[in-house]
Structure 1
Amino acid sequence: MTFGTPKYDDNGDIDNAIIYCSGSLGDFSGINKILPLTESGDAFDADKYFFICMSALGSPGSCSPSSTDLKNKFPKYSLVDVVNFQKQFLSEKFAIKHVLGLIGNSMGGFVGLTQAIEYPDFQDFVICGVSSYKVAGHDYILSKFVDEIITSDPDYAKGEMTYSLVRTLRLACLAEFNFGLSKEALRAMTNEELSADFETFGNEMLETDIYDLKYCNESCMNFNVEGNLDKITAKVLIISCKQDPHFPPELDGIPMSEMIENSKLLIMDSELGHLCFNELETISDELKEFMEEFGDS
């Protein structure tokens, strides 16, 4: 998905592209999270920037276990592979050699940091939202738990969906339910409301391919760029959320901001928790201030 206004340098190359990187198994529509801030004069003014969002390697609709029908024979991939896949796409489809910046939430933040490390000169800025520099502690255990649920089913090795695997997929997805909304938002709901939402979430996630989930979860589970953050030369805006159950600021955003030179930390206050990118308009002034440096390409 693209929108906005491409601008070109003297060589005829697009020089105002901003890439949006969606969260785990998200597709190109993830960029809709910034649409409220794309009007004239807003932080992501569509008259100033050209936005591109692709379905990442491993995500449904892109090259993935489900779309290739390779299922459990699909090659394992890392976040570096995801970055290289994206760079190749940008080069082949848009002849883009350099982007103005990247915006990523959750796993998309992993992608943004990885690209800034692997290719320091490829972007001027990175906005890394509700994300981290490594998967560790409680978040690592959650990933291990999801992996254990999936691989413990003997039918996983068959490479085809069975009744047992459908049930296993639902359980693996439900393990994530408690890590979206904030603890405060969940506590404000009645048990009846929670039960209904829990049931609905499990049913909706049955549309996920269990092999896509397994491979994506594994690529994130092994993510750790702590030792390479000093390679980042782009300006970095780190957006954390005080109520994020996945990546709380004190464990992720704050230490990351201390390790990345030329970075700025912004902590949101949102009961949406890990899903706070759905209300970026609450920090529109801060985002506009950060983007002012990058408005005149």
Structure 2
Amino acid sequence: MDSFEFETGEVLNDVTVEYMTFGTPIYDENGIIKNAIIYCHGSLGNYSSLKKIAPLANENGPFDENKYFFICLSALGSPGSCSPSSTDLKNKFPKYSIKDVANFQKKFLAEKFSIRHVLGMIGNSMGGFVCLTSAINFPDFADFIICGVSSYKVAGHDFILSKFVNEIIESDPDYNRGELTYSLIRTLRIASLAEFNFGLSKEALRQMSNLELSEEFENFGNESIETDIYDLKYCNKACMNFDVENDLDKVKSKTLIIASKQDPHFPPELDAIPMSKMIESSQMIIMDSDLGHLCFNELETISDDLNEFMENFS
């Protein structure tokens, strides 16, 4: 995009947006795609998160690629699109909010595809924040939203986890230098390891031997150093400040909430169930999945429920 203006008023020019599409576009009488479904990924994910719904895109599946046109972009703040690392601004990158992420996506869709209304939005984790924020701020933007393993606010244990990660990062005196050092790589690894317990369910972790756990923990830490520490810090801060509890009555899109009863990030009793009561006429599916917060990797287990919901939009 030529430019993007943040909520703070700061503007970046020549903004990179990474994205992918699949499916079958259907056009209205004005030549505009009318069957677009937008996929919104989790924290620091990217366009490839779209693969989570691939097993359900077969003929007569809930996300049949012959019926729908899917678009997934690497969100504002994620590497590949406009982010602290890709712009090389590092800690000089403008502070952004989840509303900025939603605005970034909406502006891109209008400029690239001339799309100003979508059939629906699907989001997992932080992507659920983006779906809710879009539905609240642009009530006529999407006919439906599917909000998965997510919440209407970051609070309690999840807020403290985010605060802890930030404390670890900010404790490194090299952070303010704006350049990668050996110390920052080590700090990034430690900060990322704080998240290890919040992916798989407690049950799945307990089923592993201590040797297996140690190996998984080590691999998780090693893989995390491929992340940019500034991307992590900025994204973590944006999520930490997310709270739309008092605006849920503005959601007009048909809403489906998906939760996992073993999710250590957003337990249904604290997040999905209260949210379903605050969004009028919303529907809810609570998965039984040892993948916990990562249960979107086995959405095919609830394909019948998703088919029933998507029948309203075929």
Tell me the TM-score normalised to structure 1 length. Answer: 0.99
Q: Among 180, 184, 188, which residue is 2:207 paired with? A: 188
Moved runs in structure 1, 4+ residues, more than 3 A?
none
Inter-partner Cα distance in structure 2 for 1:159 and 1:13: 43
Inter-partner Cα distance in structure 1 for 2:47 and 2:148: 17
| Equivalent in the alignment of 2:35 | 16
For residues 207-256 of structure 1, give each alpha carbon's deviation from its aligned partner in whole angstroms, at most 9, with x where no partner exists: 00000000000000000000000000000000000000000000000000
| Equivalent in the alignment of 1:262 | 281
Structure with greater contact order relative to length (CA < 8 Å, sep ≥ 6)? 1
Q: Secondary structure at the match of 2:71?
A: strand
Structure 2 gaps of 5+ residues are: 1-19
Inter-partner Cα distance in structure 2 for 1:86 and 1:291: 23
Structure 1 gaps of 5+ residues are: none
Q: Among 147, 151, 158, which residue is 1:128 paired with? A: 147
Structure with greater helix percent: 1
State the AA in 1 paired with 2:111: E
Q: Secondary structure at the match of 2:174?
A: helix
For residues 3-24 of structure 1, give each alpha carbon's deviation from its aligned partner in whole angstroms, at most 9, with x where no partner exists: 0000011121110000000000
Equivalent residues in 2 for 1:242-281, closer than 5 Å: 242-281=261-300
Q: Among 173, 176, 181, which residue is 2:195 paired with? A: 176
Inter-partner Cα distance in structure 2 for 1:227 and 1:124: 21
Tell me the TM-score normalised to structure 2 length. Answer: 0.94
Mapped contact 1:234–1:262 kept (Cα < 8 A) = no
Q: Among 64, 68, 90, which residue is 1:71 paired with? A: 90
State the AA in 2 paired with 1:108: G
State the AA in 1 paired with 2:293: H
| Equivalent in the alignment of 2:116 | 97
| Equivalent in the alignment of 1:216 | 235
Inter-partner Cα distance in structure 1 for 2:234 and 2:119: 30
When the two chains are superposed, the root-mean-square deviation of aligned CA atoms in Å is: 0.4
How much has 1:269 moved relative to structure 2? 0.2
| Equivalent in the alignment of 1:228 | 247
Instruction: State the aligned residue count.
Output: 295
Q: Secondary structure at the match of 1:65?
A: coil
Q: Secondary structure at the match of 1:154?
A: coil
Q: Secondary structure at the match of 2:262?
A: coil
For residues 164-209 of structure 1, give each alpha carbon's deviation from its aligned partner in whole angstroms, at most 9, with x where no partner exists: 1111000010000000000000000000100000000000010000
How much has 1:48 moved relative to structure 2? 0.4
- Taking every aligned residue pair, what percent have the same amino acid on both sides? 75
